Amino acid sequence: MADPNTKERILEAASRVFCEKGFKATTVRDICAEAEANVAAINYHFGDKLKLYHQVLKLWMEEMMTGADRQQGITDISTIEERLRAYVYGEFRSLCTYDDPEKRKKKKIRLLFEEYVSEDCDPELFKCHDEIDGELLTPIVREILAPIEDENIIQQAHIAVSGVLVHHFLAIIHYPEGEIESEEKLEFMADYYTTFITGSLKAIKEKYHAQ
């Protein structure tokens, strides 16, 4: 019978090695050495390096989704702006570097984006974010745009909002000034983007509701 501890040990080791070296530069032997396991164990539990890599990416995505509450402080009487801010705060909490001196989050984000734009990307890897996005962000966009019911306008607005947030994730890869290195910076970014998004959606509502 296979030892379940071996599988977890390989997964944890692979996460560390892939984070440091990326997919192409990492060898199965690198992972074996880090996990104190053999090639046969990796093949048995994961099939090959690519399948193991996808398991690691999925683990990173789940960590990002569960590591920050996107409804923090929200109650039944919270305003739409408060709900949006909680979502934005939760999204940006994944970018914070003040509690991550080795900036492993930044390395993981880079690799996740590389996978996201690859031609053979497995959509299942990002399903957990899509589900949370649909559950929390879509209703906020729809409510701010009400009474607009045109699904095309609502969908485009949702894409625009998501794009603004995603762009900041991309920006920190190349521009250190985009990093969130303190709790004060996180609060500022949450306020700033909430104001920006709310104003943009209200402008869309004013333009297209009048038509």
List the structure tokens of 43: 């093949």
Which residues, listed in sequence order, are joined to residue 180 by a DSSP beta bridge? 96
Phi, psi of 96 (to 5 degrees): -60, 135
The matching CATH number, chosen from 3.40.50.300, 3.90.470.20, 1.10.10.60, 3.30.300.30, for 4-56 is 1.10.10.60
The CATH class of 67-209 is: mainly alpha
pLDDT in tens, 33-81: 999 999 999 999 999 999 999 999 999 998 888 777 888 889 999 999 9
pTM, whole model, 2 decimals? 0.87
**Strands, E assignment, the chain:** none
Domain spans of the chain?
4-56, 67-209
- Write the single-letter amino acid at 170: L
Residue 170: beta bridge partners? Answer: none
pLDDT in tens, 114-168: 998 888 888 888 888 888 889 999 999 999 999 999 999 999 999 999 999 988 8
Residues 6+ apart with CB under 8 A from 126: 61, 116
What pLDDT was estimated at residue 34? 93
Kindly indicate the confidence band of residue 1, based on its pLDDT and cuts at 50, 70 and 90: very low
> For residues 109 and 119, what is the distance between their CA atoms, to the nearest angstrom?
18
